[in-house]
Structure 1
Amino acid sequence: MNKLYLSAFLMSVATAFAQIPQGYYNTATGTGYTLKTQLYNIIKGHNAKSYNALYTCYQTSDRDYFYENDGTILDIYSEKPDGPDYYNYSATNTGDRCGNYSNEGDCFNREHLMPQSVFNEASPMVSDAHHILPTDGKVNGMRSNFAFGKVSNPTWTSRNGSKLGNNVTAGYSGKVFEPIDEFKGDVARCLLYFVTRYEDKVANWNHAMLNNTSNQALSNWFKNLLLTWHNQDPVSPREIARNNAIYTFQGNRNPFIDHPEYVEMIWGQALATETFEALANINVYPNPSNTNRINIQSEKELDEIMLITLNGQVIQQINKPVGNQGTYTVENLPQGFYLIKMTADSQSTTKKVIIN
């Protein structure tokens, strides 16, 4: 069975035998940060397990029945979606768990996508399976506690192509770790879960990925990156199966896997209403446009321009756009109604535009 039909088959199995519990999201009726708080109240009471129990969880939540279909540990830092993996780990053989390691393929351990140093290894965050994945020990160690981001010139690359290096996304230039495209949406939805599940605590934590608030929670640059990854890499059968297994394990779900549209309803609407004094004088014209192009006049030098559909899909993303005396031109725009987001000095504003 090829991967296309295998994925369709597994999706049908997941849908048929592991439905979202009836009424689970009945109280998720709002939009924006109101919806985020409603989701927090739904998922906050999970049954926290011990840190060691994660290895038991992985026996059902993170098995490879989606690529090689061999039942080994599905590790996003070593999986090769289009070919055989360089190495594999057994879900049940304790000898495959770290342990000491020097090289890729020595052993696997537990990767906190939100580093555990952020919350001082406290419970229940330290053992919450929704944001802790089984990964190769060497690659986990290289990722360290760096933010996730986009890398152009890596200083180190794992065997499946995950990269370490300086971030090239506007708004942050520090060292980051970039997983392969196949799993970027997975990482995004895990971290969106994390800042929702821990809405009552996240404002007190410090990291480049966070902004010390309980509502948006994420730094502007990182929020934009996660929304991009979420849209470019939709929910997969692997994520659905993992979500169902973790629900059985600890009693709560990742709402952004069950309802991907919640991402745009929360952070997209918040994005659309952001206004900052430094960007208050931006002018977008002509609007409506009949020429498939618009001009942006800004007193501030722009770091990024994003054109976003109303359902949250990013159709153009221009980093470090080149302007002419404060005027930026965006061309080849398809007909439609859009949000255009402009970023300067880690601040953003969004305007609605119509292309006739």
Structure 2
Amino acid sequence: MKKNYFLLLLLSVTIGFAQIPSGYYNTATGTGYTLKTQLYNIIKGHTDNGYAGLYTTYQTSDVDNFYENDGTVLDMYSENPSGTDPYNYSTGSTQRCGNYSAEGDCYNREHIIPQSVFNEQSPMVADAHFITPTDGKVNGMRSNYPHGTVSSATYTSQNGGKLGSSSVSGYSGTVFEPINAFKGDIARMYFYFATRYENTVAGYSYAMFDGSSNKVFTTAFLNLLLAWHAQDPVSAREIARNNAIYTRQNNRNPYIDHPEYVNQIWGGTPSGDTQAPTTPTSLASTSKTATSISLSWTASTDNVAVTGYDVYANSAYKTTVSSTTATITGLTASTTYSIYVKAKDAAGNASASSNTISVTTNSSGTGTATDLLFSEYIEGSGNNKALEIANNTGSSVSLSAYTIKKQTNGAGSWSTGLALSGTLTTGSKFVIVNSSISSSCFSPSSANISTTATELTFNGNDAVGLFKNGVLIDIIGTFNGGTANFAIDVTLRRKSTVTSPSTTFNLSSQWDSFSQDTCNNLASKIAKPIEEGVVELSDEIVVFPNPSDGIFNIVLDNSDSPYSIEILSFSGQKVFEKQNATDSVISVSHLSSGIYIAKITRDSKTTIKKIVIN
């Protein structure tokens, strides 16, 4: 699991290594499988706290002190390392259970190596070093399938974990692929199991195992685990978890304490890998500003594992990412760039270039959207269905040219369409709901349109499109995507960094996910009549510089008069507030880049300003 805060990681690593008992690895002096046996003799015979004891261990071993830092259960199958978690669990609560119907219902215990492999025998069945707390639904979907790279997903969890057909060389079955942030964590759990149970592992039947007690893994799966270990180094979270489990079990995962042991035993670069990944496809621009371009593409596959993607603009290397999205920054305004992507694997093999796209950055400082776009999507229980459209263009837009259409179950043609009408002012939202939506979610009378039309009876596999003059300009879901659910029992809100519509749906880069029936943000910015006594003060209040780096100045005609300020993201969420302010400089450098709305009130008069943070 990777961490972005280097200083925190450095401090955590220093503390973590200081907690390795003195002399613990003194007898680990060999190389190859000799070293592995020496480690086995060090970590064997650990304290067995029993299966129920895992939940006690989790109260210290699997606590989120690294992302939201909120003390909730850190679940590798639901954690969103770069945004809001879709749901959370509390340690030691009664939320743990064995019954579930959807994500977020309960958490239980996930054996990274399935219990059936070792016939649920002790002490394996209760060894916390490879058993983690995870959402019950995702745990159930993973079932007993091996971990691997997915070629075609049949199920995708809310944090991006995938179940589907294998792209691991020589294995054609179903595999489960975790998100990149936890692939190294899981690989080191496999290496721990292969070492701790060296005396029995040869007798276990599992698709990833080769029946030996030394190598343990088939060549293809070993190469995969080596690649995951290399691309996702040991994190502060893993070190803290290792220390907590040591306190309970009195043994450690040596590959967290000494990551170099992996290469010393099994070798580093996947052996004999000369096969390049397949070519990335469907490269597209999802949004752009004056100085940046955001991209998405369809993943490549590899006989071992894709470890990253190199992004190029005008034939110059720009960045490397491990996901299928990227943002190129530091570009020049009003300039056209030719962009392509290459995939690579752990052995250094590179794919052919993807399709090349031509993208022109915006005029400097504008940062406005090119057209209307979907800003929120609710696919809740019963008829709790809603869509929200935002106008971030900088001017009022007539809705007469726009319609919403739906494709049913990922097949067939678009519906006839639900026509929109009226005028949507800039900075406002237009809300369409199913007329049978529960009043506890949203009042139908508060919507711009309340209807039973087919476009508002969508399910998690029904693509929904926004059309302008009959041409698709924005989409939620994948047209002709089949029956696989892309967004079921979930609320989606457009990220503030997405300021323009896109005909390519990318959940992770464009949307934040929330649990079923999260309705509190819907219509947060529907245009309302200006209240009496509230006037536009654009001539009296000046905000500069704009674009800003997160620190901007507010100049009023009378600096002695206090004011209040609220800052909203384009999804309508309040991200900053200050009352009775007299400061001439406001710092919101903690906010991510994007477009925000600042509402400044002084002496019962209000002005609205657009703030662009680079």
Which TM-score band applies after superposition, normalised by the shorter structure? Answer: 0.7 to 0.9
The verdict on how the C-alpha distance between 1:22 and 1:238 changes in structure 2, with shifts beyond 3 A counting, is same
Aligned residue among 308, 331, 348 for 1:316: 348
Distance 2:7 2:139 in 1: 31
Partner of 1:149: 148
Q: Please give the residue correspondences for 1:280-295 in structure 2 after superposition, counting only pairs within 5 Å.
A: none
CA deviations 1:243-276 (Å, max 9, x no partner) are 000000100000000000000100017976x9xx
Quick check: 1:108–1:137 contact (8 Å CA) kept in 2? yes
Quick check: 1:305–1:317 contact (8 Å CA) kept in 2? no
Partner of 1:128: 127
Q: Please give the residue correspondences for 1:195-274 in structure 2 after superposition, counting only pairs within 5 Å.
A: 195-268=194-267
Q: Does residue 66 of the first structure (1) align with residue 36 of the second (2)?
A: no
Partner of 2:77: 77
Q: CA deviation at 1:305?
A: 8.7
Quick check: 2:269–2:346 contact (8 Å CA) kept in 1? no
The residue type paired with residue 246 of structure 2 is Y
Q: Does residue 16 of the first structure (1) align with residue 5 of the second (2)?
A: no
Partner of 1:325: none
Q: CA deviation at 1:10?
A: 5.3
Distance 2:155 2:117 in 1: 24
Q: Does residue 163 of the first structure (1) align with residue 162 of the second (2)?
A: yes
The residue type paired with residue 244 of structure 2 is A
The verdict on how the C-alpha distance between 1:65 and 1:206 changes in structure 2, with shifts beyond 3 A counting, is same
Q: CA deviation at 1:41?
A: 0.5
Q: TM-score, normalised by structure 2?
A: 0.44
Quick check: 2:12–2:236 contact (8 Å CA) kept in 1? no
The residue type paired with residue 261 of structure 1 is E
Partner of 1:110: 109
Distance 1:172 1:266 in 2: 24
Q: CA deviation at 1:66?
A: 0.5
Q: TM-score, normalised by structure 1?
A: 0.75
Partner of 1:333: none
Distance 2:98 2:68 in 1: 26
Quick check: 2:226–2:269 contact (8 Å CA) kept in 1? no
Q: CA deviation at 1:315?
A: 4.1
Moved more, 151-160 or 10-19: 10-19
Partner of 1:86: 86
Partner of 2:31: 31
CA deviations 1:256-314 (Å, max 9, x no partner) are 00000000100017976x9xxxxxxx9xxxxxxxxxxxxxxxxxxxx9599xxxxxx92
The residue type paired with residue 26 of structure 1 is N
Distance 1:180 1:270 in 2: 21
The residue type paired with residue 191 of structure 1 is Y
Distance 1:270 1:45 in 2: 32
Q: CA deviation at 1:24?
A: 0.4
CA deviations 1:104-154 (Å, max 9, x no partner) are 000000000000000000000000000000000000000000000001310
Moved more, 95-104 or 108-117: 95-104
Quick check: 1:200–1:214 contact (8 Å CA) kept in 2? yes
Q: Which one has a larger percent helix, Structure 1 or Structure 2?
A: 1
Distance 1:108 1:305 in 2: 31
Quick check: 1:33–1:270 contact (8 Å CA) kept in 2? no
Q: Which one has a larger percent strand, Structure 1 or Structure 2?
A: 2
CA deviations 1:306-336 (Å, max 9, x no partner) are 9xxxxxx9242479xxxxxxxxxxxxxxxxx
Quick check: 2:220–2:304 contact (8 Å CA) kept in 1? no
Cα root mean square deviation, aligned:
2.6
Distance 2:202 2:177 in 1: 25
The residue type paired with residue 92 of structure 1 is G
The verdict on how the C-alpha distance between 1:32 and 1:217 changes in structure 2, with shifts beyond 3 A counting, is same
Counting matched residue pairs gives 285
User: Which consecutive residues of structure 2, in runs of 5 or more, have no partner in the other structure?
Assistant: 275-301, 306-344, 352-614
Q: Does residue 186 of the first structure (1) align with residue 185 of the second (2)?
A: yes
SS in 1 for 2:348: strand
Distance 1:8 1:82 in 2: 18
The verdict on how the C-alpha distance between 1:318 and 1:217 changes in structure 2, with shifts beyond 3 A counting, is farther
The residue type paired with residue 76 of structure 1 is M
Distance 1:118 1:80 in 2: 30
The verdict on how the C-alpha distance between 1:305 and 1:74 changes in structure 2, with shifts beyond 3 A counting, is closer
Distance 2:128 2:10 in 1: 22
CA deviations 1:76-106 (Å, max 9, x no partner) are 000000101010000021x210131000000
Distance 1:318 1:205 in 2: 36
CA deviations 1:187-232 (Å, max 9, x no partner) are 0001100010000000000010111100001111110000000000
Partner of 1:177: 176
Distance 1:317 1:135 in 2: 34
Distance 2:175 2:349 in 1: 20
Tell me the percent identity: 64
Partner of 1:286: none
Distance 1:218 1:253 in 2: 21
Distance 2:109 2:98 in 1: 12
The verdict on how the C-alpha distance between 1:101 and 1:11 changes in structure 2, with shifts beyond 3 A counting, is farther
Partner of 1:329: none
The residue type paired with residue 48 of structure 1 is D
Partner of 2:400: none
Quick check: 2:110–2:139 contact (8 Å CA) kept in 1? yes
Distance 2:4 2:146 in 1: 32
The verdict on how the C-alpha distance between 1:318 and 1:120 changes in structure 2, with shifts beyond 3 A counting, is farther
Q: CA deviation at 1:16?
A: 2.8
Partner of 2:44: 44
The verdict on how the C-alpha distance between 1:117 and 1:82 changes in structure 2, with shifts beyond 3 A counting, is same
Partner of 1:138: 137
The verdict on how the C-alpha distance between 1:318 and 1:117 changes in structure 2, with shifts beyond 3 A counting, is farther
SS in 1 for 2:89: coil
The verdict on how the C-alpha distance between 1:226 and 1:168 changes in structure 2, with shifts beyond 3 A counting, is same
The residue type paired with residue 80 of structure 1 is N
The verdict on how the C-alpha distance between 1:305 and 1:150 changes in structure 2, with shifts beyond 3 A counting, is closer
Quick check: 2:166–2:174 contact (8 Å CA) kept in 1? yes
Quick check: 1:211–1:217 contact (8 Å CA) kept in 2? yes
Distance 2:232 2:193 in 1: 19
Distance 1:145 1:304 in 2: 22
Distance 1:305 1:257 in 2: 23
Distance 2:160 2:270 in 1: 32
SS in 2 for 1:147: coil
Distance 1:270 1:123 in 2: 34
Partner of 1:332: none
SS in 2 for 1:58: helix
The residue type paired with residue 264 of structure 2 is M
Q: CA deviation at 1:242?
A: 0.2
Quick check: 2:76–2:134 contact (8 Å CA) kept in 1? yes
